[in-house]
Amino acid sequence: MKVLKLIFKNALRHKLRTFLTIMGMAIAVIAFGLLRTVVTAWYVGVEASAADRLVTRHSVSFILPLPYAYLDKIKQVEGVKTVSFFNWFGGIYIDKNQFFARFAADANTVFDVYPEWLLTKKEREDFQKERNACILGVDIANQYNLKIGDVMTLEGDIFPGRWDFVVRGIYKPRNKTTDATAMIFQWEYLNERMSQDSPERANQIGWFVIKINDPNQAALVSSKIDALFKNSPAETKSETERAFQQGFIAASSAIIEGMNAISFIIVGIIMLVLGNTMIMSARERTREYAVFKTLGFSGSHLVGLIMGESLFISALGGGLGLFLTFPIVAFFESVIPKGWFPIFQVEPITIILAVSAVIIIGVAAAIFPIQRALSTKIVDGFRFVG
């Protein structure tokens, strides 16, 4: 108990210095947590990928369309259970800053290949019956205060013109990694407009999403699909949904890796901040340690005093930082458009890394002061003037 009391008093001997150290560590932990949250949010789409879903796109580039006529051929491939398809629509809702995913999809199959988008039977039937109906994710509906029966008007960019949609359903996510920020409407509505306005763009889709019977046969089924269209004007590339999502992330890999590296550089900064405080404290207490040795304090006692003080300050700073990380992340989640990061929350791995870093830093920052205290002779300690 006396050692604990000494640790507490030593840590608060220079209140301003200790306070600044704690605040510096707290700010660094907050920055670490926020950056790690951005990194983990970027990978949510990969984590949400289903093992029994394939994506078939144009072999040259995702932005090039595929013929709608491919649908029947893909359905006949052995191992294929259900086939749906999508077009990226884009468009502007309210203004260009309001970003969220907007897709034209096959109304009859989209919720078969994505069962994690939860709808009532009535909502699904109403969506299928009305040509300009749309389905919204619950997060988007809440963000824009939209409800069933409301009309959404989009200004087309990829597909020019004014587009009016009636909200006929609001889907809910089955689990926390499911994106609840998408808008889906009938591909038939898009195709009819294209048939009238731009016939050369009619009967084209962006990509197929294929549900297969056996996830272990994903590579085999993919190769069979691609073989169907080999040497055709629009060859395909089929891959698992996870690989497809990773391909998108790869385009931004330099940014993500940079943010990831910065988050760990911050850990090093925290160690320097605490290490500097502990070295200053140890230097100031050189004579005190000499007195302790004279009174019979062993080396383990000195190690406990210095290590305890370092861990105490580290725990206070890290704990404060972690405590503040949650409301700050929640604030950022509330101000950024939902479509940028569908899932933006502090993940358990971020907490584990932060706590581990705080403990390691507390230990590492005490190593040099401990070595100095143990190696300094009693006589030299009394002679020291700091």
Domain residue ranges in the chain: 2-44+253-383, 60-234
Residue 45 has pLDDT above 70, yes or no: no
**Per-residue pLDDT tens digits for 130-140:** 999 999 999 88
Please report the pLDDT score of residue 47 as a whole number. Answer: 63
Task: Please state whether beta strands 117-118 and 161-173 pair in parallel, antiparallel, or not at all (unpaired).
Answer: antiparallel
Backbone angles phi, psi at 149, to 5 degrees: 100, -15
Tokens standing for residue 121: 């039977």
Closest CA to 342 of 146, 119, 183, 154: 183
* Contact status, residue 47 vs residue 342, Cβ threshold 8 Å: no
Tokens standing for residue 203: 């009967």
Handedness of CA 110, 113, 114, 118 (dihedral sign): positive
**Per-residue pLDDT tens digits for 291-339:** 777 777 677 777 777 788 888 888 888 899 889 999 988 887 776 666 5
Backbone angles phi, psi at 167, to 5 degrees: -75, 115
For 365-381, b/e burial (b = at least 16 CB within 10 A) is: bbeebbeebeebeeeeb
**Per-residue pLDDT tens digits for 7-30:** 777 667 778 888 888 888 888 888
* More confident position, 157 or 13: 157
